[in-house]
Amino acid sequence: MLKTNESKLVMLSVVGVITPPLQRGPYRVDREGKPFILPGTGGISYNVKVGDPAFGWAGDHIEPGVSTAASVEDRSAPKNRAYNTLACVGNEAIVVSGDAKGARGVVTGMHGGIEHVLIDFADHDLEKMIIEDKILVKSFGQGLQLTDYPGITVRNFDPRLLNLLDAEPKKGKLVLPVAKKIPAKFMGSGLGSPSTASGDYDITTSDQEEIKSLGIDQLKFGDLVALEDSDNRFGRSYRRGALTVGIVVHSDCLLAGHGPGVTTLFTAVDGSLQVRLEPSANLAEILKIGRFRPEDAL
């Protein structure tokens, strides 16, 4: 069992509402200069779930499950920033208003720019939800430290998931399972952000041939991925030899410089973080939620 400072972490209530889909203009323009009108961020995704493919949807920046924000009107408001920062992957979420009151779900990621926290719920609960229902998240995880691995910075991760990750201590290093390795040259939108304690950044997919040759087009929502030569300690930047492990939170995109979004979980520059490839390294499979939720598979 990994030693941590979990007993010192603060569990704090934060509340969001289910957000409506937003449309900033009549259409957007893709990386080839073609206009498109497709579903995007926000709302309740009934048929797109964590565990599903992140590619192939007739959409752009699609978010699985339920999209939430603290403030619908002002996405840059301090309470929105706090909500997006304090909520962590794996946190428990509870619906506190509307017909689905009492339903429980799991935070699966954060989406920057739109400042959404994404939450997975069972199908029968989704059917009772509407836009602006309130959801309480028991935020827990920011400030987490791995006592025996001071070189590893942890962000956005509920410590109760650690024992489910099958992390492997090996010769003074910590080895985590990942579904794919992503070369740093593919990282785009969100690069240069001053903080990695909220939001995400994108795996760019303009070069479709290379994306397919590396199998990146097989990524799923909830996949744990290794971002090579990527330093996510105090912002998002290229650093040779650094390594970041994150989670895929939204779908592929048609815009230049965009693609599946990745929320930061672990990062190190001293070699103390390593990875091993495991196709099953996916949050939905680990927690039996989303596409792996037993009651939804009936």
> Quick check: pTM over 0.75?
yes
- Say how far apart CA 151 and CA 153 lie, in whole Å: 6
Which residues sit opposite 18 in a β-bridge? 68
Quote the percentage of the chain above a pLDDT of 70. 99
Which residues sit opposite 237 in a β-bridge? 231
- Say how far apart CA 298 and CA 292 lie, in whole Å: 11
Residue type, 73: E
In this prediction, residue 294 carries a pLDDT of 87
Number of neighbours of residue 218 by Cβ within 10 angstroms = 15
In this prediction, residue 296 carries a pLDDT of 63
pLDDT above 70 for 181: yes
Averaged pLDDT, 20-35: 91
> CATH number of the domain at 10-141, out of 2.40.50.140, 3.50.50.60, 2.40.10.170, 3.40.640.10?
2.40.10.170
Radius of gyration of the chain (CA): 18
Pick the closest to residue 250 from 87, 91, 43 (CA basis): 43
pLDDT above 70 for 60: yes
Question: 153-287, what's its fold?
Answer: tm1086 (SG structure) fold (2.102.30)
For residue 126, what is the enclosing H or E element?
Answer: helix 123-126
Quote the percentage of the chain above a pLDDT of 90. 93
- Under the banding of pLDDT at 50, 70 and 90, the label for residue 66 is very high
Sign of the alpha-carbon torsion through 182, 184, 188, 191:
positive
Averaged pLDDT, 152-181: 96
In this prediction, residue 297 carries a pLDDT of 52
Pick the closest to residue 248 from 282, 285, 213 (CA basis): 282
- Say how far apart CA 286 and CA 161 lie, in whole Å: 9
Please, what is the end-to-end C-alpha distance for the chain in angstroms?
35
Domain ranges (residues) in the chain:
10-141, 153-287
- Say how far apart CA 203 and CA 211 lie, in whole Å: 10
Residue type, 66: V
Pick the closest to residue 158 from 258, 86, 212 (CA basis): 86
pLDDT above 60 for 279: yes
Angle (nearest 5°) at CA 248 between 83 and 281: 120
Q: Are 119 and 106 in contact (CB under 8 A)?
A: yes
Residue partners of 78: CB distance under 8 A and separation at least 6: none
